[in-house]
Structure 1
Amino acid sequence: MACRISEIVVEARDPERLAAFWAEVLGYVVIGREGNAVEIGPPDTGFGGPQPTLVFDRTNDAPRVKLPLHLDVNPTDRDQEDELARLLAIGARHADVGQTGDESWYVLADPEGNEFCLLRRRIDPVSQRARGPR
């Protein structure tokens, strides 16, 4: 037997705002709210599907140190430049982590400053078949 990642929990100063941003980035929807937390996941699948859900839970801790983990995302229906423009339009911003400018990826930050990378390679979205029964 093995484990599978089912949820990724992110502490957020504004869980609703961060959930809305990441839902737009990933094509996810809000699947639940509990207390101060907002959970987003794939439409029609939600928790337990092939992709992990994201839970944004309120924290009042400030200032926050850099997270020891970041997400990488790949475009699924457009090229990297078009996806970069989309991400910037919905609230991402460029982040400087010492890049040289020769990288094949972009380092970005979400509305609360959490870094993530937009990779160049286009990948297929998770298909309906891979999502399993509903």
Structure 2
Amino acid sequence: MAFDVQITVDCSAPHDLADWWAQALGWQVEPQDEAFIRRMVDTGAATAEDTTTHRGALVWRVGAAITSPDPGRPRVLFQLVPEPKAVKNRLHLDVRVGPERVEAEVARLVGLGARELWRGRQGPFAWVTLADPEGNELCVT
């Protein structure tokens, strides 16, 4: 039996990080149903403290997700955690753009707020490791 997966990223500002990654990947931030959220608060199923406002809309405080315009790609959820990132990720995303586009993509992502950490090479394969605005590693290859 095959399973579907979702990638979840712990962070301190899920809505801001979802915005960053959506722009970085050319994906969309998944809309949240403001009417549903208000109904949950009004009926006592949630509290006002469970919500926040982001870009003028009422959203769930603890998370935001992005989705690809292409079907079959995993959803990426950014979830609020209380602790800051402390060590290197054991899992990271590789943004595969092809060798001819690596430098331009690295420059674009750095312009969006990423920072370059190091460059690697193994035989004919090369990559650039970056950190997103919260320090989560990603590779451009």
TM-score (structure 1 length as normaliser)? 0.71
Cα pair distance change 1:22/1:63, threshold 3 Å: closer
One-letter identity of the residue aligned with 1:39: A
2:62 aligned residue: 36
Alignment partner of 1:25: what SS?
A: helix
2:87 aligned residue: 65
- Between Structure 1 and Structure 2, which shows a larger proportion of helix residues? 2
Q: Give the superposition deviation at 1:84.
A: 1.2
Alignment partner of 1:51: what SS?
A: coil
Q: Does 1:94 align with 2:93?
A: no
2:138 aligned residue: 116
One-letter identity of the residue aligned with 2:88: K
2:23 aligned residue: 24
Cα pair distance change 1:63/1:23, threshold 3 Å: closer
Q: Number of aligned pairs? A: 111
Q: Which runs of 5+ in 1 are unaligned?
A: 120-134
Q: Give the superposition deviation at 1:20.
A: 1.1
Q: Percent identity?
A: 37
1:125 aligned residue: none
Cα distance in structure 1, aligned partners of 2:61 and 2:15: 12
Residue pair 2:7, 2:75 contacting (<8 A) in 1 also: yes
One-letter identity of the residue aligned with 2:79: D
In our comparison, the structure showing a higher alpha carbon Rg is: 2
Cα distance in structure 2, aligned partners of 1:20 and 1:53: 14
Q: Which runs of 5+ in 2 are unaligned?
A: 33-59
Q: Give the superposition deviation at 1:35.
A: 4.0
Q: CA deviation digits over 1:4-40, x for unaligned, max 9?
A: 32x1111111111211111011111111444420011
